[in-house]
Amino acid sequence: MFSFEIWQRSINSTEKQQFHLAIRVVSGFMAGIIFGLFFGESCDVLIPVGDVFIKIMQITVLPTVVVSIVSGIGCLKRTDARNVLIKGGSALLLLWSLGVAAFFSMAFAFPYIKEAFFFSDVRFEDAQGPNLIDIFIPSNPFRSLSEGNIPAVVLFCLLLGFALIADSRNRILLDPLICLKDVLSSITLFIAKIIPFAVFAIVSYTIGSLTFERLVQLPVYFISTIVLILLLCSVVLPLVVRCFTGS
């Protein structure tokens, strides 16, 4: 009973912290809009501040992804790993497909705007697009980690996690990884306290740099985004969960 009360108290404390953080983020967002509208292009001085905050918030992203995937899969049993591979892979492919469909469907929500342009006889070099093989296949995992190629890093972590399942000595590696995951979570919670300031800085110079014509077009973006989020959260995602859980 005592342990259950402690667990319940910790959950309530976490929910309160998340709620307070959400309130501060919304407050920072609204303050950024007001600040940007009043001071306009003078908000450009906040660009370095926003860049610094973004880089700070990205400190623990990649290490957390690596540690969480490897430790999470490595702790599974073989039967559970098979179910995760089949059901989790199917759900992941379905969610990716929904994300791609939602991304391209957003283009139909915006009106076509024809703008004038000046012809310039300048020869541009052919820009090479990203190499999809290097992005998704980790031929050099350390290079993928340094360059932040998340798909390649995830694939490497999945292979490493499934390989640890079959090794009887996996606890030697998993126990430090679980401890490291808890440490990274503590760092992330500490860094999360600066998110409202980052939102304020980014929104301020974004709104301040907008022209009146672009500002008038923003309601279309906000309305279409809200409608798409409500559609995904209230209809699409519940159907996906029901298909894979049966409840």
Long-range contacts of 38-44 (CB under 8 A, 24+ apart): 39/204, 39/208, 40/208, 41/208, 41/209, 42/208, 43/204, 43/205, 43/207, 43/208, 43/209, 44/205, 44/208, 44/209
Predicted pLDDT at 121? 46
Q: What contacts 32, CB < 8 A, 6 or more positions away?
A: 199, 200, 201, 202, 203, 204, 206, 207
Q: What contacts 217, CB < 8 A, 6 or more positions away?
A: 113
Nearest to 71 by CA among 183, 180, 188, 177: 177
* Helix 150-165 with 61-74: angle, nearest 10 deg: 30
Q: What contacts 3, CB < 8 A, 6 or more positions away?
A: none
Predicted pLDDT at 84? 75
Instruction: Please identify every stretch of the chain with a pLDDT value under 70, giving residue numbers as ranges.
Output: 1-19, 107, 109-130, 132, 212, 214-217, 244, 246-247
Nearest to 152 by CA among 165, 139, 161: 139
Question: What pLDDT, in 10s, does the model give residues 10-50?
Answer: 555 556 666 677 888 888 888 888 888 888 778 888 888 88
Query: Using CA atoms, how far apart are residues 133 and 108, in angstroms rounded to an integer?
Result: 30
CA dihedral sign, ordered 157, 160, 165, 168: negative
Global pTM exceeds 0.85: no
Question: What pLDDT, in 10s, does the model give residues 184-208?
Answer: 988 988 888 888 888 888 888 888 8
CB 187 within 8 A of CB 13: no
Predicted pLDDT at 122? 47
85, HSE (Cβ side, Cα atoms, 13 Å): 15
Predicted pLDDT at 127? 53
**Other CB atoms within 10 A of residue 139 CB:** 9
Predicted pLDDT at 180? 92
Q: What contacts 227, CB < 8 A, 6 or more positions away?
A: 109
Predicted pLDDT at 7? 44
Q: Which residue has the tokens 């980690």?
A: 145
Nearest to 136 by CA among 122, 125, 147: 147
Q: What percent of the chain has pLDDT over 70?
A: 77
Give a three-class secondary structure readout of 84-126.
HHHHHHHHHHHHHHHHHHHHHHHHHHCCCCCCCCCCCCCCCCC
Query: Using CA atoms, how far apart are residues 51 and 28, in angstroms rounded to an integer?
Result: 16
The single-letter code of the amino acid at 141 is P
DSSP-derived letter for residue 193 is: G
CB 209 within 8 A of CB 43: yes
